[in-house]
Structure 1
Amino acid sequence: MVIKNLENKIRLVTIICGFFLLGCIIISVSSIWTAKTMVNDAQQKIYVLDSNVPILVQRTTMEETLDVEARSHIEMFHHFFFTLAPDDKYIKYTMNKAMYLVDETGLAQYNTLKEKGFYNNIMGTSAVFSIFCDSIKLDEKKMEFTYYGRQRIERRTNILTRELVTAGKLKRVPRTDNNPHGLLIVNWRTLLNKDIEQKTKANY
């Protein structure tokens, strides 16, 4: 009888110890999982100082922001390449900025225009070029785009508006100060560049 009671007590103690050990394992695994989740969440959060006031922002992956960044990159390149003034230093500055965003196809177009005396003509006629983006058609899977815009050319006596359509592809590259979106335009070409309206400036 005593032996039987002893066996029952040993069995009971074994069961209790087993449950206790299982509970410890569950608590330990849960604690590790919770800590890992908290660390991952913390790494996704960034604080930005605005006038010494910390503002919490959420980190996102490039896949989540590709559409916005790609459109911004394309528009930025066209702004630098097609916004021109009768100032050789300004032209060199904008072209230098544009060349960081495009491959050799952009440089080839720049060199062709330069050889034809296009930029010298701008300074000689005091023309001012500005570009307005109408829309950008983007295929994220193929990383291909078509840019639709209008270029305004203001000269001493008239204002000319041209329709501009270009196309190309996007390639991922490391982000730098000169290329903040981490994208590079490749195989860039002009599909359409034609006059659509010309107005004579009033003489006062």
Structure 2
Amino acid sequence: MVIKNLENKIKLVGIVCVAVIVGCVVISLSSIWTARGMVADAQQKIYVLDGNVPILVQRTSMEETLDVEARSHVEMFHHYFFTLAPDDKYIQYTMEKAMYLVDETGLAQYNTLKEKGFYNNIMGTSAVFSIFCDSIKFDKEKMEFTYYGRQRIERRTSILMRELVTAGQLKRVPRTDNNPHGLLIVNWRTLLNKDIEQRAKNNY
């Protein structure tokens, strides 16, 4: 009888020990899982100081913001490439900025215009070129875009408006100070560039 009771107590102790070990393992694993989730969640949150006030902002992946960044990249390139003033240093500055955002197809267009004396003509006629973006069509899956805009050319005696349509693809590259979106325009080409309105300036 005593031996039987002893066997039962040993079994009970064994069951209790196994239950305690299993419980510890379950608690440890759940703690690790919870901690990893909290760390991952914390890494998605960034605090920005506005003076002395911390403001919580949400971190997002490039996939979530690709559409916005692609349109911004395309618009930025066209702004640099088509905004021109009768100042050779300013033209050189904007072209250098633009060339960081496009491949050799952009450089080829720049060299063609330069060889034709386009930039010298701007300085000779004191023309001011500005660009207005109407819309940008972007296909996220094919990484293709079409840019629709209008260019305003102001000369001493007239103002000319031109319709501009260009197209190309985008490819991912590392982000840098000169290319903050981490995108590069490739196979860039002009589809349409025609006069739509010209009027004389009122000189007072």
RMSD (Å), alpha carbons:
1.0
What TM-score, normalized by structure 2, do the two folds share? 0.97
Matched, 1:183 2:183: yes
1:14 — aligned with what? Answer: 14
Inter-partner Cα distance in structure 2 for 1:99 and 1:182: 14
What TM-score, normalized by structure 1, do the two folds share? 0.97
1:199 — aligned with what? Answer: 199
Task: Name the SS of the counterpart of 1:177 in structure 2.
Answer: coil
Inter-partner Cα distance in structure 2 for 1:52 and 1:84: 41
1:162 — aligned with what? Answer: 162
1:99 — aligned with what? Answer: 99
| Deviation beyond 3 Å, 4+ runs, structure 1 | none
For residues 7-156 of structure 1, the aligned pairs below 5 Å read: 7-156=7-156
Inter-partner Cα distance in structure 1 for 2:51 and 2:84: 35
- CA shift digits 1:100-133 (9 cap, x unpaired): 0000000000011011111111111111111011
Listed as ranges, the gaps of 5+ residues in structure 2 are: none
Q: Which amino acid aligns with 1:51?
A: G
1:45 positional shift: 1.7
Inter-partner Cα distance in structure 1 for 2:93 and 2:119: 13
Instruction: Compare 11-20 and 92-101 and name the one that shifted more.
Output: 11-20
Inter-partner Cα distance in structure 1 for 2:199 and 2:48: 48
Task: Name the SS of the counterpart of 2:86 in structure 1.
Answer: coil
Instruction: Compare 182-191 and 16-25 and name the one that shifted more.
Output: 16-25
Task: Name the SS of the counterpart of 2:175 in structure 1.
Answer: coil
Task: Name the SS of the counterpart of 1:65 in structure 2.
Answer: helix
Task: Name the SS of the counterpart of 2:146 in structure 1.
Answer: strand
Q: How many aligned positions are there?
A: 204
Identity of matched residues, %:
86
Inter-partner Cα distance in structure 1 for 2:89 and 2:46: 39
- CA shift digits 1:27-77 (9 cap, x unpaired): 100111111111111222222222243222221111111000000000000
